[in-house]
Amino acid sequence: MLKQLEKLSAFIGNTPLMSLRNTRTPLYAKLEYNNFSGSSKDRAGYSIVYNGIKSGRINENTTIIASSSGNLAIAVASICKMLDLKFIPVIDPNINSAYEELLNLLSYKVVKITERDSTGGYLLTRIETVNKLHAATENSFIADQYGDPNNYKGYYGLSEEILRCPVPVEYVFVAVSSSGAITGISKSIKEKNPDIKIIGVDVEGSVIFNAPPVKRYISGIGASQVPPIIKNASIDDVVIVSQTDIIKGCFELLNEQVIFAGASSGAVYLAAKNYFNEKSYLIPPVSLLIFPDKGHTYLDTIYNKQWGEQLAAKLESATVA
- DSSP assigned state of 164: T
The residues of the shown chain that bind ligand PLP, judged by CB under 6 A, are 39-41, 71, 175-182, 220-221, 262, 264, 292-293
Hey, is 126 helix, strand or coil? helix
Tell me how far apart the alpha carbons of residues 321 and 318 are, in angstroms, rounded to a whole number: 5
**71-83 and 97-106 helices cross at what angle (nearest 10)?**
20
Q: Which is nearer to ligand PLP, 1 or 174 (CB)?
A: 174
Name which of 113, 115, 36, 116 is nearest 77 in CA terms: 36
Q: How near is the Cβ of 289 to ligand PLP at its closest, in Å?
A: 12
Q: How near is the Cβ of 321 to ligand PLP at its closest, in Å?
A: 30
Q: How near is the Cβ of 182 to ligand PLP at its closest, in Å?
A: 6
Name which of 71, 82, 76, 74 is nearest 52 in CA terms: 76
Q: Rounded to whole angstroms, what are the CA distances from 234 to 76, 137, 169, 190?
A: 27, 37, 17, 8
Q: Which is nearer to ligand PLP, 3 or 231 (CB)?
A: 231
Q: How near is the Cβ of 61 to ligand PLP at its closest, in Å?
A: 29
Name which of 257, 247, 248, 260 is nearest 302 in CA terms: 247
Q: Which is nearer to ligand PLP, 13 or 180 (CB)?
A: 180
Q: How near is the Cβ of 243 to ligand PLP at its closest, in Å?
A: 14
Q: How near is the Cβ of 42 to ligand PLP at its closest, in Å?
A: 8
Q: Which is nearer to ligand PLP, 38 or 308 (CB)?
A: 38
Q: Which is nearer to ligand PLP, 62 or 155 (CB)?
A: 155
Report yes or no: 294 and 261 within 8 Å, Cβ to Cβ.
Answer: yes
Q: Which is nearer to ligand PLP, 1 or 250 (CB)?
A: 250
Amino acid at 273: K
Tell me the sheet residues that pair with 237.
199
Residues belonging to the chain: 321
